[in-house]
Structure 1
Amino acid sequence: MMNYIQTIRKLIGNEMLMTVGCGIIIEHENQILLQHRKDRDVWGIPGGVMEPGETFLETAVRETFEETGLIVEQLKLFGLYSGEEGFSEYPNGDKVFSVQIIFYSNCFSGELTHNTEESHEHRFFPRNNLPHLNSHQERFIQDWVNQMTLPVIK
């Protein structure tokens, strides 16, 4: 099944596309869940792009389940992120500008899946020992590290 992004990419090629990304900072025992991406050698939070008709919450929960196998509940708004850090160019040349809606939860169930289509593994990390982060997600992960007052709006 072709998704919205694939459909639009057929029409515009690699040109700039605006997207809405939704992700979840999942915390367990004062540690954050990060995924090691396959497309880039970086770590970031689970999440992805909103499909037409979805709510922010539906997108975050769906993407997190697809990527991790976890069912996340009791989401709270963590932050809204926009600005220059939202620009990205993928290895295939696709350009995007993404506005990010980030949630927080420490309530989840299910079995953590590791080797998925998009990631090598998932692991919980303490605030003082984070791996090489996805530069496009680093600001909200650092806001979690610094225990910013929520919601964060940047």
Structure 2
Amino acid sequence: MGRRIDYYDDPNAPRANSLVPSVNVVVENHKGEILMIRRTDNDNWAVPGGAIDLGESITQAAIRETKEETGIDVEITGLVGIYSDPKHVIHYTSNDEVRQEFSIVMAGRPLGGNLSSSVESSEVRWIPFNDIDSLSLDQSMRRRIGCYRSEGVVTVHL
């Protein structure tokens, strides 16, 4: 399995060769904990997410990716933000793809299911907000969770 390497405004970063719309989901439970995964490609913590497949909506991708990576069924409740900084590129070493960031971050609430890891997630946990600062996260993920925490959610009809 290849690795994922994130670069931020780095003059030595490889040049982007793709742009793939993706989705991330901040799922908060009734205890105020956030659903997080430990990624297998870089060992960092993140909220679930991934590429939007052809033929699926943003909401469908968000629900699918969350279920695949965590075992949890979710309902999408709104939009956190859209992140498309061309200074942030993601290098996937398995195929030498270098993506320019383009992530739509949604908010969700859990409906059911059981925590389970996957090929993409070595660990899945509900994490209290206060514990997130001590975890190893890429700065883009930390920013997305921070936006959710400070700015809230925009209700949208998708």
User: 1:6 — aligned with what?
Assistant: none
1:109–1:86 CA distance, 2 compared to 1 (3 A): farther
**Aligned positions, number:** 136
Contact 1:86 1:99 in 2 (8 A): no
| Structure 1 position 108, deviation (Å) | 2.1
SS of aligned partner of 1:60:
helix
The residue identity in structure 2 corresponding to 1:16 is: N
SS in structure 1 opposite 2:74? strand
The 1:52–1:74 alpha-carbon spacing in structure 2 relative to 1, beyond 3 Å, is closer
**Unmatched 5+ residue regions in structure 2?**
1-14
2:103 is the alignment partner of 1:100: yes
- 3-state SS of the aligned residue for 1:129? helix
Counterpart for residue 114 of structure 2: 111
Instruction: Give per-residue Cα distances to partners, 1:39-64, cap 9 Å, x unaligned.
Output: 10200011110111211001111111
Partner of 2:69: 67
Query: In structure 2, what is the equivalent of residue 3 of structure 1?
Result: none
Deviation of the 1:26 alpha carbon: 0.6
Aligned counterparts of 1:67 and 1:85: Cα–Cα separation in 2: 27
**Would the aligned equivalents of 1:86 and 1:97 in 2 still touch at CA under 8 Å?**
yes
> 1:8 is matched with which residue?
none
Percent identical pairs in the alignment equals 29
Please state whether the residue corresponding to 2:103 is helix, strand or coil: strand
Q: CA RMSD in A?
A: 1.9
C-alpha contact 1:85 1:136 (8 A) present in aligned 2:
no
Cα distance in 1, alignment partners of residues 45 and 140 from structure 2 = 10
Map residues 5-154 of structure 1 onto 2, 5 A cutoff: 16-28=17-29, 29-84=31-86, 86-92=88-94, 93-114=96-117, 116-130=118-132, 131-145=135-149, 147-151=150-154
How far off its partner does 1:79 sit? Answer: 1.4
- Which ranges in structure 1 are unaligned for 5 or more consecutive residues? 1-13
Alpha-carbon deviations, 1:119-154, whole Å to 9, x = none?
A: 111112122211111333221012133x21434xxx
CA separation of 1:89 and 1:136: change in aligned 2, threshold 3 A: farther
Contact 2:92/2:98, CA 8 A, preserved across alignment: yes
